[in-house]
Every structure is written in C-alpha cells, then in structure tokens.
C-alpha cells in the first residue's frame, strides 16, 4: 500500500502538500500548505475530463490510439515532428516525453509564455537565478508585492505576511492593495522608472548600504548617473506615483528586513529583463541580498539544483510564435496553445494547416477541438511523480493514490514509444529515485532540495567578480497612452488556472468610460478583436482594461513578439481600443 501523501500538480507558486484520505483531497497540515488548499484543488475531481481517445472525431481504444500515434510519427525526416509541451502538470516526470522526442530526432520548443524575461534580467544582474524562499519572506519586516496578486496566485504566502508592513505596486487595487500600508497604483509598463527613482533617492537621502555597495556593487556611481536621466516631476506624474510615495517607500524600507515579492505582471513586456534588473538594483541599493529575511522573490526556477536524468538535447523552435504548419505532426502535451499562446488567430490558422495534430491532456478545450488524435492523460492521483516549487525549497513525492482505466501516464506513453522505436529508457522507479535523491528530510517531516540555499548570495553574486552588474542603458517607454487607447493587462483569475477549470468571460473597465455593466463591447488591438460583456471595476486605473488569462479569445488581442531577452511572450505590451459592438 502506497503512502497517502501527494502534492498538487498545478503550475502555481505554492506547490501544496496533499493527503488523499477517504477518497478525498485534503491539505497537508505541516509546512507552507498550512492546512488549506485553493478552489482548484478543493473541486478538482468535479471537473469533467476526457475519458476516451478519439481519432478524427471517432472514439477508439487506447491501444488503437497508441498505434495511430506510432503511425503519425513514422516519417523519414524527423524534422517533420514537433513536440510542444506546456505546464498543465508541473511535476518532474512530465518531461520524460521530451526524452523520447529528443532521442527520436523530433523538434522540441524553447522560450516561455511565462517568466523568461524577468529571469533573464535576474541572471544578467546576479549571474544566476536563486530565489528567496517563502520561509525567508516569513522573517522579513516589510513586504513589497510588486506586480504579484497573492490572494489569487499564491495564497499560502498570506498567513506568513500578517502583521508586516505591506507595500503594493500594481495598476489594479488588488485585495492585497486594499489592506496594504501603501499602494502605488502604477501605470502599466512603467515600473522601471519607479525602480530607477527609488535607487536615486536612496542615494540622495544618503541611505545607501555603503558597506554592501563597496563590496558587491562598486559600479553604483555609474548606475546613479543613469538614474539621473529620469526627469522626476513629469515621470512621476506620468507613471501615477508621487514624491510622497517615494518618501514612504524609503521610510518603510531603509534599515529594515525587506522582501520584494515580484510576480510575472511586471515583466511581460519586451524590455521585461531590464525592468526586473532595475528592481534588483533597488534591492542592491538597500543591501538586501545575502541576509536573513531580505531579498527579491520572483517566480524562481523550480528545477534549481536538480539535474534532469533525461536526455533532451534537440533542435528547438520558439514556444511564443511556433509555426505549427511547418510540421507534419504536432504532439501537444499539457497545454492549450490555441487559447494560451499569444496571437491566437495566427495560432489557429497555422494549426488548421497542420496535417496531424495530437492532443495529450486532461480536458476538452480549444486545442482538443482542433486535434485529430486525442489521448487522455492520467490525473496526478493516478500516477507516481515528484515535484518541486518555484517559491519554496520543498521536494514533494507524489504517490499514486487511485487506479483508473482512463488515460495513460506520461511514463507509460513514453515507454510504449521507446519500445516501438528502439530508444533506451530506464525504469520509472529509477527516474523517480533519481529525483528523490535530491531531497533531505527536514525536522517537520517534509523533504527539501538539498543543494538549494535558504539565503542565497551570502558571499556575493554569482558573477565573475561577485559583483552585481547594473543596467547601463534602457529603452525609454512612451509614458502617455494615446487618447483613445487603453493598456490591456491580462493577469490570473482566482477561479481558473490559465485555461483549466472555471474560465472568466468578461472585460473589466472603470465605470468612467460610459459603458454599462452587462453591455457587450468590441475590444480591438493591432492583432485582432473580440466582443465581451463589460463588468465595471473601479479598482482599475481609467487608462487600463483587464481581461483575465483563460478568458476565451483574449489572446486574439495579444502579439507574438518576443521579449528582447529571455525568449518570453509579452502578453501585457498591447494597447486596445474599445467601442460599441
Ligand atoms: N488562481 C490562479 N493562480 C495561478 C494561475 C492562474 O491562472 N490562476 N497561474 C499560475 C501561473 S502560470 C503563473 S505564471 C503565476 C503568476 O502569478 P502572478 O505573478 O501573481 O501574475 P499575474 O496574475 O499575471 O499578475 C500579477 C499582478 O501584476 C499586475 N500587473 C500587470 N501589469 C503590471 C505592470 O506593468 N506593473 C506592475 N507593477 N504590475 C502589473 C496585475 O494587475 C496583477 O495584479 O500564477 C500561477 N497561479
Ligand atoms: N492572455 C494571457 N495569456 C497567457 C497568460 C496570461 O497571463 N494572459 N499567461 C501565460 C502563462 S504565465 C502560462 S504559464 C501559460 C499557460 O498555458 P498552458 O501551459 O497552455 O496551460 P493551461 O491553460 O493551464 O493548460 C494546461 C493543459 O494541461 C492539461 N493537463 C493538465 N494536467 C495534465 C497531466 O497530468 N498530463 C497531461 N498530459 N496534460 C495535463 C490540461 O488538459 C490543460 O488543458 O499561459 C500563458 N498565456
Ligand atoms: S494554491 Fe496552488 S499549489 Fe496549492 S492547491 Fe491551489 S493550485 Fe495547488
Ligand atoms: Mo505561468
């Protein structure tokens, strides 16, 4: 009998521990899970899943589906085959399919729809991306939520920040902004200016952490010159901040233990790397690295300090603007690219022209509707796996809890293909053990990744001379939105996990625009248009509209440009116009 312990598989900061008890999903009591889950997992088993494979609309058996898959892969030139994998399930064994496709000679993807620009900025400045874990945030005095919406996307941080000073920098008055000591309702895409000004004022105020700067950031003087290029009064007016806000932020943070908790909202722009680096530079000015309760938390690398046992060296194409029609067979796993990739109209038209589309997932969605072959996956309760997190250091074993006749696991599908095409594959247990070996037991009974630092950068940064590398230049943003244009922000909704579960269907607007609640309006961008029902939301700036991730067709509006660094999608860099339907 397996242990009744597992973990939530979803792409979420928290990576909660789960006990499967009396056929019910229950939260782990210990550690960060803290005895509660979120709506996705509380209702997980109620969501309707795909139960039977299909080919061209006709129901077939799993055996027939696997045979069909084998046929669809049997091309002379393997360059005709694309493996496109998303993060529907975040556990480590999901990557086993990459092992097959890479060794087979197929094309894989690189780039990201998520956090790549910010990560690139972090690596440029610090030489590596080592994250401040939840357990350290708990020890800080002041927490700055910078483009992060914790009530929706990372609720397990909330009990840890009770009674701390809270600063929020977000164009939307989110729930955390409502209870914060200070909310700077910043214009979207202007964080770099705020960050530059903060570093400048720390210097003007004589509050630089001199000891830290001398040791690890000796180029600060040059950076200070860069910050001097920003005109204070006009910039503050344009970005929606005041000199009083800057004063308050300095007063709250100087000589305090400060955690800057960044989300992906700040960096879904072409210059996302620079934005993140300017926030890091603000933290450097305060000397926030390498000390208890201090640092910058971002969406860290969940695979930090873990080596993959899979061989995944392959030719790759970008995940952001993939030309599906350049392939004969596209195998899509754990993703809904038709809804979630930018520029959906382009995505749809290229997939329509792809001869064979295979969808390997749990739920029906826009991508399954376009697929020729549908192979149902197993849920996390029906397979063994192991996961790590991008916001804490726990390593969580996910034991299989139930037997089911539905679907096939990623390992079993890979084992079938490897057998058929003569590719070497180790046993499932060997791979699971490989991952388990990275864990050490903590006093609360949980495991954590042994090599991960709780307080990274204690001996300086991971650059060649241990020093922080400041931005030397940045692209000036046009801070004024044209009269009839609005900024589109498209962040996460509490009822869905991107396009899984209960998806939203509204456009949120400030009531000042004169449209009625419930009225259908047309939203248009350079890329396309959609019609959605209006919901008034006066928590928004009046130059900004909000359409949540997962809202059907939202990505008709977004462009498939890449960030300058980090090969990332830029979902928020889109202006829209609104009009009566
Ligand atoms: N419930 C739920 N949880 C999720 C997900 C989900 O879909 N639903 N998705 C998961 C995934 S894949 C990810 S990547 C994470 C992301 O989770 P978060 O990092 O929290 O990201 P977002 O919700 O995209 O954006 C966070 C905040 O950024 C703000 N924002 C937008 N533009 C700007 C800007 O220019 N400047 C500033 N300062 N703020 C801005 C938005 O208003 C929003 O409040 O959440 C994960 N968790
Ligand atoms: N407009 C807009 N677009 C966005 C974003 C945004 O904020 N706004 N966010 C972007 C971000 S940050 C991300 S990470 C992406 C996410 O985009 P995707 O990676 O496409 O994620 P989901 O929409 O959650 O779809 C995941 C799919 O995985 C399948 N799945 C779930 N569990 C399993 C499993 O165990 N095995 C298999 N084989 N399949 C499984 C489900 O059927 C589900 O349809 O979206 C991006 N797109
Ligand atoms: S908060 Fe995140 S990790 Fe926890 S149960 Fe919900 S989706 Fe899963
Ligand atoms: Mo994401």
pLDDT per residue, tens digit, the chain (581 aa), is 469 999 999 999 999 999 999 999 999 998 999 999 999 999 999 999 999 999 999 999 999 999 999 999 998 999 999 999 999 999 999 999 999 999 999 999 999 999 999 999 999 999 999 999 999 999 999 999 999 999 999 999 999 999 999 999 999 999 999 999 999 999 999 999 999 999 999 999 999 999 999 999 999 999 999 999 999 999 999 999 999 999 999 999 999 999 999 999 999 999 999 999 999 999 999 999 999 999 999 999 999 999 999 999 999 999 999 999 999 999 999 999 999 999 999 999 999 999 999 999 999 999 999 999 999 999 999 999 999 999 999 999 999 999 999 999 999 999 999 999 999 999 999 999 999 999 999 888 789 999 999 999 999 999 999 999 999 999 987 666 678 999 999 999 999 999 999 999 999 999 999 999 999 999 999 999 999 999 999 999 999 999 999 999 999 999 999 999 999 999 999 999 999 99
Q: Concatenate the DSSP letters of all residues of 199-244 into one string.
A: HHHHHHTT---HHHHHHH-TTHHHHHHHHHTS-HHHHHHHHT--HH
150: in domain: yes
Q: Which ligand is nearest to the CA of 389?
A: 3
Please report the beta strands in 22-57, taking only residues with DSSP state E, as ranges in sequence order: 24-27, 54-55
Where does residue 556 fall: left (phi above 0), alpha (psi -120 to 50 degrees), or beta otherwise?
alpha
Sign of the CA dihedral 71, 77, 78, 81?
Answer: negative
The candidate with the shortest Cα–Cα distance to 393, out of 145, 213, 134, 67, is: 134
Sign of the CA dihedral 477, 480, 485, 488?
Answer: positive
pLDDT of residue 480: 65
Alpha-carbon gap, residue 204 to 196, rounded angstroms: 12
Q: β-pairing, 356-361 with 373-376?
A: parallel
Q: Which ligand is nearest to the CA of 365?
A: 2
Q: Whose CA is nearest to atom 19 of ligand 1?
A: 263
Q: Which of 253, 282, 297 is the last residue of a domain?
A: 297
Q: Give the Å distance between the CA of 98 and the centre of ligand 4.
A: 20
For residue 87, the enclosing domain spans: 5-110+323-387+396-437
- Any idea of the CA torsion for 143, 147, 153, 154, to the nearest 10 degrees? -20
Alpha-carbon gap, residue 102 to 161, rounded angstroms: 43
Give the contacts of 478 (CB within 8 A, at least 6 positions apart): none
413: in domain: yes
Q: At what angle do helices 428-436 and 410-420 cross, to 10 degrees?
A: 130
Q: Which ligand is nearest to the CA of 26?
A: 3
Q: Which of 297, 312, 347 is the last residue of a domain?
A: 297
- Identify whether residues 271 and 349 lie together within a single domain: no
Contact between residue 521 and residue 531 where contact means Cβ atoms under 8 Å apart: yes
Q: Domain holding 493: CATH number?
A: 2.40.40.20
CA angle (121, 125, 129) in 5-degree steps: 70
361: in domain: yes
- Identify whether residues 124 and 231 lie together within a single domain: yes
- Identify whether residues 344 and 429 lie together within a single domain: yes
Q: How many CB atoms lie within 10 A of CB 155?
A: 21
Burial of 484 (0-12, 13-18, 19+ CB in 10 A): exposed
Q: Give the Å distance between the CA of 416 and the centre of ligand 4.
A: 30
Alpha-carbon gap, residue 494 to 504, rounded angstroms: 9
Q: How many CB atoms lie within 10 A of CB 349?
A: 12
Sign of the CA dihedral 488, 40, 109, 82?
Answer: negative
Q: How many CB atoms lie within 10 A of CB 531?
A: 11
407: in domain: yes
- Identify whether residues 342 and 422 lie together within a single domain: yes
Alpha-carbon gap, residue 168 to 249, rounded angstroms: 10
- Identify whether residues 105 and 122 lie together within a single domain: no
The candidate with the shortest Cα–Cα distance to 569, out of 490, 470, 496, 506, is: 490
The candidate with the shortest Cα–Cα distance to 536, out of 556, 563, 514, is: 514
Alpha-carbon gap, residue 177 to 245, rounded angstroms: 14
454: in domain: no
29: DSSP letter: S
- Identify whether residues 106 and 120 lie together within a single domain: no
Q: Domain holding 292: CATH number?
A: 3.40.228.10
- Identify whether residues 403 and 512 lie together within a single domain: no
pLDDT of residue 2: 64
414: DSSP letter: H
Alpha-carbon gap, residue 381 to 25, rounded angstroms: 9
The candidate with the shortest Cα–Cα distance to 497, out of 549, 454, 545, is: 549
Side-chain-side CA neighbours of residue 568 (13 Å): 26
Q: Whose CA is nearest to atom 42 of ligand 1?
A: 172
- Identify whether residues 23 and 99 lie together within a single domain: yes
The candidate with the shortest Cα–Cα distance to 400, out of 428, 372, 426, 422, is: 428
Alpha-carbon gap, residue 4 to 19, rounded angstroms: 6
User: Is 302's C-beta closer than 6 angstroms to any atom of ligand 1?
Assistant: no
Q: Which of 297, 314, 343 is the last residue of a domain?
A: 297
Reported as type and span, the H/E element at residue 284 is helix 272-285
Q: Concatenate the DSSP letters of all residues of 187-210 into one string.
A: PTT-HHHHHHHHHHHHHHTT---H
Alpha-carbon gap, residue 567 to 383, rounded angstroms: 32
Give the contacts of 523 (CB within 8 A, at least 6 positions apart): 488, 507, 529, 530, 531, 532, 545, 547, 557, 576, 577, 578
- Identify whether residues 270 and 293 lie together within a single domain: yes
Q: Give the Å distance between the CA of 378 and the centre of ligand 4.
A: 22
**Pocket residue to mutate for ligand 2, from 49, 331, 361, 572, most atoms within 8 A of Cβ:** 361
452: in domain: no
- Identify whether residues 100 and 130 lie together within a single domain: no
Q: Which atom of ligand 1 is nearest to the CA of 299?
A: 19
As separate numbers, helices (DSSP H) first and strands (DSSP E) second, the chain gives 19, 28
Reported as type and span, the H/E element at residue 398 is strand 394-398
469: in domain: no
User: Is 333's C-beta closer than 6 angstroms to any atom of ligand 2?
Assistant: yes
Q: Which ligand is nearest to the CA of 571?
A: 2
- Identify whether residues 208 and 135 lie together within a single domain: yes
> What's the number of domains the chain is made of?
3
Q: How many CB atoms lie within 10 A of CB 138?
A: 17
Give the contacts of 152 (CB within 8 A, at least 6 positions apart): 174, 491, 492, 493, 494
Give the contacts of 241 (CB within 8 A, at least 6 positions apart): 184, 186, 194
Contact between residue 72 and residue 65 where contact means Cβ atoms under 8 Å apart: no
Q: Give the Å distance between the CA of 164 and the centre of ligand 2.
A: 33
Contact between residue 409 and residue 380 where contact means Cβ atoms under 8 Å apart: no
Q: Whose CA is nearest to atom 44 of ligand 1?
A: 149
Q: How many CB atoms lie within 10 A of CB 325?
A: 14
Q: β-pairing, 108-110 with 142-146?
A: unpaired
136: in domain: yes
- Identify whether residues 104 and 132 lie together within a single domain: no
Q: At what angle do helices 272-285 and 191-204 cross, to 10 degrees?
A: 20
């Amino acid at each position: 009998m397996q242990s009744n312990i597992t973990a939530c598989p979803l792409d979420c900061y928290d990576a909660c521990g789960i006990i499967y008890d009396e056929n019910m999903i229950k939260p782990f009591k210990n550690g960060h899970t803290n005895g509660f889950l979120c709506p996705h997992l509380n209702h997980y088993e109620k969501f309707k899943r795909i139960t039977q494979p299909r080919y061209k609309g006709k129901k077939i058996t799993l055996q027939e589906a696997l045979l069909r898959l084998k046929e669809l892969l049997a091309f002379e030139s393997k360059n005709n085959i694309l493996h496109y994998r998303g993060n529907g399930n975040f556990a480590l064994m999901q990557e086993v399919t990459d092992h097959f496709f890479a060794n087979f000679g197929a094309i894989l993807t690189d780039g990201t729809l998520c956090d790549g620009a910010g990560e690139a900025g972090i690596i440029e400045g610090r030489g590596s991306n080592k994250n401040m874990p939840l357990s350290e945030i708990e020890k800080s005095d002041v927490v700055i939520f910078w483009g992060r919406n914790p009530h929706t996307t990372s609720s397990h941080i909330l009990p840890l920040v009770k009674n701390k000073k809270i600063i929020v920098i977000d164009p939307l008055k989110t729930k955390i902004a409502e209870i914060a000591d200070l909310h700077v309702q910043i214009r979207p895409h202007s964080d770099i200016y705020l960050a530059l000004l903060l570093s400048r004022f720390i210097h003007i105020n004589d509050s630089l952490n001199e000891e830290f700067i001398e040791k690890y950031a000796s180029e600060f003087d040059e950076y200070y010159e860069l910050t001097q290029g920003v005109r204070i009064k006009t910039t503050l007016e344009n970005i929606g901040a005041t000199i009083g806000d800057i004063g308050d932020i300095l007063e709250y943070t100087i000589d305090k233990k400060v955690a800057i908790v960044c989300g992906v909202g700040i960096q879904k722009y072409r210059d996302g790397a620079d934005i993140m680096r300017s926030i890091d530079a603000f933290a450097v000015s305060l000397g926030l690295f390498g000390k208890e309760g201090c640092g910058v938390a971002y969406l860290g690398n969940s695979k930090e300090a873990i080596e993959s046992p899979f061989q995944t060296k392959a030719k790759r194409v970008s995940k952001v603007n993939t030309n599906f029609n350049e392939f004969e067979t596209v195998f899509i796993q754990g993703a809904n690219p038709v809804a979630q990739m930018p520029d959906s109209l382009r995505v749809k038209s290229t997939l329509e022209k792809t001869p064979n589309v295979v969808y390997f997932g749990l739920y029906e969605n826009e991508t399954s509707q376009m697929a020729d072959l549908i192979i149902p996956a197993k849920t996390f309760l029906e397979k063994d796996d192991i996961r790590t997190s991008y916001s804490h250091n726990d390593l969580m074993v996910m034991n299989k809890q139930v037997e089911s006749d539905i679907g096939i696991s990623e390992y079993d599908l890979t084992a079938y293909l490897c057998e058929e095409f003569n590719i070497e594959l180790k046993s499932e247990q060997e791979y699971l053990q490989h991952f388990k070996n990275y864990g050490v037991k903590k006093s609360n009974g949980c495991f954590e990744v042994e090599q991960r630092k709780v307080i990274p950068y204690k001996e300086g940064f991971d650059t060649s001379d241990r020093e922080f590398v400041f931005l030397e230049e940045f692209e000036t943003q046009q801070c004024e939105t044209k009269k009839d244009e609005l900024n589109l922000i498209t962040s996460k909704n509490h009822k869905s996990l991107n396009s899984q579960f209960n998806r939203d269907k509204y456009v949120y607007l400030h009531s000042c625009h004169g449209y009625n609640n419930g009225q259908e309006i047309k939203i248009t961008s350079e890329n396309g248009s959609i019609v959605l029902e209006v919901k008034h939301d006066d928590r928004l700036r009046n130059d900004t509209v909000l359409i949540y991730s997962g809202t059907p067709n939202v990505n008709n509006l977004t462009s498939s440009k890449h960030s300058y660094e980090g090969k990332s999608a830029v979902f928020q860099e889109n202006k829209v116009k609104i009009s009566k339907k």
